[in-house]
Amino acid sequence: MASLFSHAVGALGISSCFYQSRIPKRVWVLGTACSLMPDLDVLGFRFGIHYADFWGHRGFMHSLVFAACIAGIIVAAALRHGVTGMSPLLAWWFFFLVIASHGFFDAMTDGGLGVAFFAPFDNRRFFLPWTPIRVSPIGLTRFFTSRGLAVLQSEILWIWLPAIMLSVAAFLLRRPSQPSPD
């Protein structure tokens, strides 16, 4: 898996594409928190759920169906009164993308069993054809080691820099164009 830090950075990059100053900050905070949600499946290890199981790590909670359902629940429940500057459909797309990004980042790592993108319809696990990100160790104490530093270096290159570039591009595209002098 990619580290929680990098999932949050990826969500911030996606947020920049939807950003409008009138949208409350709670939307961006909730989106960042939602990008971390799929990794709650690691709690299953404590209850005897195996990695390769449907509910195991990178299983259903990393799927596109899970992302779509959670996005729908958030829009229907947490944002039921609407969000200034964001239609329900746009809010759904935002939350879907930040949650689904988690599985895509994990599918770019060089370890694990892959991601069950199509669960519950197909429980096979997949990696993307390109896996440049070093797989992060599970657990904070294991992350703060030399291996964790190597993971962070690969994530800075393959997640953080693209997220920054996406944010800059979104900012530049949002800027009002200057009238040309005649």
Q: Write out pLDDT tens, residues 96-143.
A: 999 999 999 999 999 999 999 999 999 999 999 999 999 987 766 777
Tokens for 88, please give them. 């329900």
**What's residue 79's pLDDT?**
72
Q: What stretches of the chain adopt beta strand conformation (E)?
A: none
**Which pLDDT belongs to residue 182?**
59
Domain boundary assignment for the chain: 4-174
- Between vectors from CA 67 to CA 21 and to CA 169, what angle results, nearest 5°? 40
Check: pTM over 0.85? Answer yes or no: yes
Annotate 31-56 with three-state secondary structure. HHHHHHHHHHHHHHHHHCCCCCCCCC
CB atoms within 10 A of CB 24: 13
In single-letter form, the type of residue at position 108 comes to M
Mean pLDDT (whole number) for 49-68: 97
User: Helices marked H in 37-174 — which ranges?
Assistant: 64-73, 88-107, 140-143, 146-155, 161-174
Decide: 105 and 132 in contact? Cβ < 8 Å. no
